[in-house]
Amino acid sequence: MGGEVPDVHEILPGEAWRLVSPMPAPLEAVNLYLFRTEDGYLLVDTGIRSRRSLAVLREGLRAVGAALEDLRHLVLTHAHVDHLGLARRVVEAAGGRVRVYAHPHTRLLAGIPFQPLEPAEHPALAFFRSLGVPEGSALQLLSMENYMLQAMQDPLPVDRAVEDAQVLDFPPFRFRVRETPGHCPGHIALVEEARGWAFWGDHLHRDRLPVCPLPLYPPRPLELGALLVENPRDLHLRSLPTGPSTGGLGLHLPGHGPPFQGLRPVLASYRSRWEGRCRAVVEACLDEPRDPYTLGSILYGEHNEVMTLLTVSETLYTVIDQVREGALEVATPGEAGVLRLLARGPARVGAAWLRLPDPDPDPGEEARCSRANARPLPSSSD
């Protein structure tokens, strides 16, 4: 596909770039990162599998004086369609001279052909029913997951599995791998310590709290009791960069959206948004029991096929947080065993969130409706 105008942003003149790869609406464009190395070029993530994405990547490389045939290394941050969907085609277009690096979980998913499971047979279907998700919406949600997995699956041999704290040398660049679960099992970030750069994939975004969708593949049952003990949002919180170890990081480069400097305001905004969600959920349960699916529509607006998994997942984590803190209690199960919740006290941000910075005081914040504070939800491209 010709005529594509590449969206290329220089990070280090002649050495490192951010390439913006398009996604079909309503999904958001994804960032790819390109580095000139002593033996060719390194690419971090690939974009979705489509002719347009491949054409844009070709044009982006041409804009910096390179070509697909010059690629020698490919690092995949995680196993989501927008970050590794094009990987096999990139490797093939480069003539098979590219070494691929990924976490063992990503390596597993990237190397095994996807076997679709009928939505009505998915072991998680009963769990979504218990959250109040209508039968048709639950089946549609699982069908969408099949579609996303099929779009991602193009079996690709991964040459090297990488794990937490491992160092990847691509002279003149040297990256330390940081395992950052939550958004996706096996998610990794890359830290270039000498230059103070951190490439976060979908673990951190400047303007919004990253989503942590409930894991649906490999297919397995989901249980509320297990999620109360630990869930993807817990994993995400524990692996957020806080404390002295972040002091040398000057530039943060996410998988979506523009780079940013300074972690404190970003983490403070995450906490502020979470507190808004907690208030909105508890307020909605003051007068009558509510199920998580209904609470999701209150927080984020009407559900749609692309966003249902995200809205239900994020609402469920908010509910779990408030059950743990004693602000919500499980009411008598409603029709067909649907989980319903009642408020029993004021909303309180969970203990796991207290390690994040307090939001900067804003005299007008308390006057704003808590639902307005709770509403923003990250793009489903995450």
Domain ranges of the chain: 7-113+153-204+240-254, 264-354+362-374
Rounded Cα distance between 34 and 8, Å, is: 10
CATH number of 7-113+153-204+240-254: 3.60.15.10
Per-residue pLDDT of the chain (382 residues; tens, 9 = 90+): 456 677 999 999 999 999 999 987 666 899 999 999 999 999 999 998 889 999 999 999 999 999 999 999 999 999 888 999 899 999 999 998 999 999 998 887 766 666 677 889 999 999 999 999 999 999 988 887 777 666 655 667 788 999 999 999 999 999 999 999 999 999 999 999 999 999 999 999 998 899 999 988 777 889 999 999 999 999 999 999 886 556 678 899 999 999 999 999 999 999 999 999 999 999 999 999 999 999 999 999 877 767 889 999 999 999 999 999 999 999 876 566 899 999 999 999 998 898 899 886 543 433 333 433 444 444 444 4
Rounded Cα distance between 188 and 203, Å, is: 8
CA distance between the termini of the chain: 26
Residue 181 to residues 141, 142, 175, 201, 367, Cα–Cα distance (Å)? 23, 22, 18, 11, 35
Name the H helices within the chain: 51-63, 81-84, 87-93, 104-111, 125-130, 135-152, 224-229, 232-238, 264-284, 292-300, 308-324, 370-374
CATH number of 264-354+362-374: 1.10.10
Which has the closest alpha carbon to 254: 86, 56, 29, 22? 29
